[in-house]
Structure 1
């Protein structure tokens, strides 16, 4: 799609809510401009309690041949786009994945998921920062969620505040006012604005197709790593040098055609 867009002189953007809208833009700018110093660690925990039902009532999301890679991709590509927007490219990942819930049901139909419901991944960014990313739909009893960004001079809690090491708490409202006062608040509305700006002014989109490919590459690098049991370079997945997991996705996709 990216190659075709370039071939025909077209602009290809995404509508990625994790990096658009005043709050997300302000947060990314604040971190890049050093509000917490150099980023050391990004930690992200996201667990969902489904009670062995379908996520969002959709069985297809749990099948890698229909969803492209199951929950880890469905949810994960938003997270990885966020990671790279805040701290730059991810160089290498190592991951473990599992399908803990072997059966899911909506009360009428039972499915046997082929897409992984849990992953625990370690990220190594090109700038030397590290990340710990965990997501799961197999949690029971109590869910959890949250992102922490730790730097050499403080901590950032996306959607909440920045906490520099001097003890101050800078609320997100103040960060928006300082770093993105003229950015539209709604992420999806912002996606239309930046598409227009890309077409009319040739302005580089935050939610560009190239950045989306990079985010998808991180997801599939994690799934590839869990498949082959080794750390994986993200560029090796993007360039097609490593594709054991992707091969399984394609195989399952093709099986539906028979």
Structure 2
């Protein structure tokens, strides 16, 4: 059993506090919530009363001997500082995305995790979506053949009230960026988990619909992956009224499309199969045949978020601590997404293609147990 404390009582902190305290057969006996911390004591007290735990401050939380792990759910640019303090206090740490707003901050945090021997993870729950897991299995097994292209599109809308809901939103210092760093970081992580690391980008960014913020509300990028595949990325919070996020991975023997976190199209070529010379034009969809493997969506929180992906990531984190292994999304994985976003920003600023900084300190997270 891991006992958690949550730092941050905003939308995601509140969601995770509710997840840890709801009746869930999978989490029962594996994770519980002891306390929450918020910058606003009134808001923290209200959340604590709602979920039935204590409200305290950061120092009080880190001093609690019954707290094994800390969930950091504060503004992005504060993640590394708070996570480092928690690691040095002997706590395991799961950081809300992004791990921080620069690769250098991520490097420092990874080094502290290695030094303290504590487990470090980064929330990237879409790796735990059933459709993403199925796509990963198909790609890893070679059923798509050689991956040739990747397209990911996040065409969302964020109104003025969203940016006004926190003084840190839309700022370079604490948000680290806009539609790309805050919203599309999930897509950047997912495409690299599916298709391998991005090694080079060429990009543009713009602020077109939200003049009151410091950062971009539209970003486009051309991506080159380590395996030779090419890709495109669109990230926007200026696409009124907002559409679903969509990712497609295409290979020379199959293709997969995930739309709104659900499997929208899948075709895996059978042995000896040949498509028509001019292609199938979207026909030959096999996704219905995999419906039995895509269960688990289940309940949603009052915020609209699904419980299942976050719950499964929490379970993986608890098992990682117990087994002495890195979690599925470790510090290095979180850093990799931030490094791609940073390269995109540099390319947009300079007008030049940029190589992605992939340097990561060795032995990220806890030292693994011998087999």
Gap change, CA 1:173 and 1:217, over 3 Å in 2? same
2:155 pairs with 1:47: yes
Match of 1:117? 217
CA-CA distance at 1:52 after TM superposition: 5.4
Q: Give the alignment's Cα RMSD to 1 decimal.
A: 2.4
Which of 325, 335, 349 is matched with 1:213 structurally? 335
Q: Deviations over 1:51-71 (max 9, x none)?
A: 655359556322222311122
Match of 1:244? none
Q: Deviations over 1:166-203 (max 9, x none)?
A: 535133534558xxxxxxx8111112211122122234
CA-CA distance at 1:82 after TM superposition: 0.3
Name the SS of the counterpart of 1:123 in structure 2: strand
Name the SS of the counterpart of 2:144 in structure 1: coil
2:281 pairs with 1:164: no
Q: Hey, what's the Cα distance between the residues in 1 that align with 2:247 and 2:309?
A: 19
Match of 2:321? 199
Name the SS of the counterpart of 2:173 in structure 1: helix
Q: How many residues align?
A: 223
Gap change, CA 1:139 and 1:10, over 3 Å in 2? same
Gap change, CA 1:55 and 1:28, over 3 Å in 2? farther
2:181 pairs with 1:73: yes
In structure 1, list runs of 5 or more residues that go unmatched.
104-111, 178-184, 240-258
Q: Hey, what's the Cα distance between the residues in 2 that align with 1:38 and 1:175?
A: 24
Gap change, CA 1:24 and 1:140, over 3 Å in 2? closer
Match of 2:234? 134
Which structure carries more helix by proportion?
1
Q: Deviations over 1:203-222 (max 9, x none)?
A: 44221111010011111111
Q: Deviations over 1:19-39 (max 9, x none)?
A: 124443232122221222221
Match of 2:66? none
- Greater C-alpha radius of gyration: 2
Gap change, CA 1:192 and 1:2, over 3 Å in 2? same
Q: Hey, what's the Cα distance between the residues in 2 that align with 1:170 and 1:83?
A: 19
Which of 63, 72, 76 is matched with 2:171 structurally? 63
Q: Hey, what's the Cα distance between the residues in 2 that align with 1:230 and 1:121?
A: 12
Which of 302, 305, 309 is matched with 1:187 structurally? 309
In structure 2, list runs of 5 or more residues that go unmatched.
1-108, 274-283, 296-306, 361-371
Name the SS of the counterpart of 2:125 in structure 1: coil
**More contact order relative to length (CA 8 Å, sep ≥ 6):** 1
So what's the TM-score if we normalise by structure 1? 0.77
